[in-house]
Amino acid sequence: MELTTIIILVLKVSIVLTVFGLALHATIDDALYLFRRPSELFRSIMSMNVIMVLFATSLASSFGLHPAVRIALVTLALSPVPPILPKKVLKAGVHASYTIGLLTAAALLAIIIVPLTVKLLAIAFGRDYFVSPAVVAKLVLISVLLPMAVGIAIQHISPVFAERIAGPVSRVATILLLVGVLPILLTAWPAIVSLVGNGTILAIAAFCLMGLLTGHLLGGPEPDHRIVLAHCTASRHPGVALAIAHANFPQEKLAFAAVLLYMLVNTVITTLYLTWRRRHQSGFTGAIKT
């Protein structure tokens, strides 16, 4: 087995364990949270799947970006929430039900929304774009829905056992993520650097900032929900983005590097956003107590 194959396998296991560890604290009511609140679900879809797609296509067509960067921006906008997101968001102190509900809803609806949106873009631009619903379904089923279902089932059957293993599972997932990501970044670094220039960093930063702003505004009156939707709108599933890119632009070999560059920029910007929101909420809470 090649080293690259082993690294990718490690990353996949890390993602599965991350969602599984999160689900060990969840219930079926958490997973169905947004489906029982149609107005919140509608705002979430508008934020992640409508506004961001329009912004990304406008951004990609308006500037002289590298083709790989344009492809990455549009395919990322089409992709659902990344499975590694909820753990980061939960550390900010937000409501678990909304986070888990959004992850579940985004994964399920992606099977329909992603292929449909790709088809609409193909019609709008007169191109032959395509992504198989089966490909999207396989990705979200393995990385989100199955580990989520197993974790919730264990929590329902044996809450004590679920709480006992949740911590170790999450720690193993984090270690595997680091073990998998670092070699990929080192290997792909020359390709990533080759994409820098012609406004690439600014365009990716604008995409992330637009996602944070859109999600924050459409997250509703609850501050915690704003944090979750902002983060989910700015952060996307790299696996789905690369699957769309490979199906429609197999000749663009730098698409993988462009997605990695986005992940680096996104990590910096969303971390700054979370830090700001934590300080803002801490200050607000302190003022109330005073």
In a domain, 270, yes or no: yes
Domain count, the chain: 1
Distance CA 238, CA 145 (A): 17
The answer to whether 134 and 250 have CB atoms below 8 angstroms apart is no
What number is the average pLDDT over the span 68-79?
91
In a domain, 42, yes or no: yes
The answer to whether 84 and 247 have CB atoms below 8 angstroms apart is no
Residue 237: per-residue pLDDT = 83
Render pLDDT for 234-277 as a digit per residue (tens, 0 to 9).
988 888 888 888 888 888 888 889 998 999 999 899 989 988 87
pLDDT at 48 over 70: yes
In a domain, 280, yes or no: no
Q: Which structural domain range is residue 157 located in?
A: 3-167+179-275
Residue 84: per-residue pLDDT = 66
State how far the alpha carbon of 281 is from the alpha carbons of 40, 74, 102, 126, 206, in Å.
22, 33, 22, 47, 25
What number is the average pLDDT over the span 136-140?
89
In a domain, 290, yes or no: no
50-54, 60-64, 162-166, 258-262: range with lowest mean pLDDT: 60-64
**What's the pLDDT band for 105 if we cut at 50, 70, 90?**
very high
Instruction: State the average pLDDT for the chain.
Output: 85
Residue 3: per-residue pLDDT = 60
What phi-psi label fits residue 127: left (phi over 0), alpha (psi between -120 and 50 degrees) or beta?
A: beta
CA angle 215–220–223, rounded 5-degree value: 85
In a domain, 115, yes or no: yes
113-117, 149-153, 157-161, 178-182: range with lowest mean pLDDT: 178-182
- Give 12's contacts (C-beta < 8 A, 6+ positions apart): 142, 143
Of 10 and 155, the structure prediction assigns the larger pLDDT to: 155
CATH at residue 55: 1.20.1530.20
In a domain, 286, yes or no: no
Sheet strands (E) in the chain: none
In a domain, 9, yes or no: yes
In a domain, 287, yes or no: no
Considering the chain, what percentage of its residues have pLDDT values greater than 90?
Answer: 39
Render pLDDT for 169-226 as a digit per residue (tens, 0 to 9).
988 988 888 888 888 888 889 999 999 887 899 999 999 999 999 999 999 888 888 8
